[in-house]
Amino acid sequence: MLDHFCHWLSETPLSDFIQNVTWIIPLVQTIHILCVSIVLSSVGMLDLRLLGVAGKRVTISGMAARFMPWIWASLVVLLISGVILIVGEPARDLPNSAFQLKMALLISVIVVTLVFQHTVRRNANFWDLSPAHRHSAKVTAGVSMALWVAIAVCGRFIAYIDAQH
Partner 1 sequence: MSLESICAWLEHGTIGTAIAEGEWTFPIIESIHVIALCLVVGSIVVLDLRLLDRSWRSRAVSELTLDVLPWTWASFLVAAIAGFLLFTSAATRYIVDVPFQLKMLLMAMAGINMLVFHFVTYRNVHEWDKDHPTPAAAKIAGGLSICFWIGVVACGRWIGFTMR
Binding site for partner 1 (CB under 8 A): 26, 29-30, 33-34, 36-42, 44-45, 48, 54-55, 57-58, 66, 149, 152-153, 156-157, 159-160
Min dist CB 34 to partner 1, Å, is: 6
Question: Is 127 within 8 Å of 52 (Cβ atoms)?
Answer: no
Start-to-end CA distance of the chain, whole Å, equals 11
Q: Which is nearer to partner 1, 40 or 103 (CB)?
A: 40
Q: Which is nearer to partner 1, 14 or 54 (CB)?
A: 54
Burial of 1 (0-12, 13-18, 19+ CB in 10 A): exposed
Min dist CB 144 to partner 1, Å, is: 14
Q: Which is nearer to partner 1, 42 or 119 (CB)?
A: 42
Backbone angles phi and psi of 98, in degrees to 5: -65, -40
Spatial separation of the C-alpha atoms in residues 84 and 131, rounded to whole Å: 46
Q: Which is nearer to partner 1, 55 or 136 (CB)?
A: 55
Min dist CB 79 to partner 1, Å, is: 17
Min dist CB 50 to partner 1, Å, is: 15
Spatial separation of the C-alpha atoms in residues 117 and 65, rounded to whole Å: 10
Min dist CB 1 to partner 1, Å, is: 29
Spatial separation of the C-alpha atoms in residues 152 and 106, rounded to whole Å: 10
Spatial separation of the C-alpha atoms in residues 11 and 127, rounded to whole Å: 52
Q: Which is nearer to partner 1, 54 or 114 (CB)?
A: 54
Question: What single letter denotes the amino acid at residue 123?
Answer: N
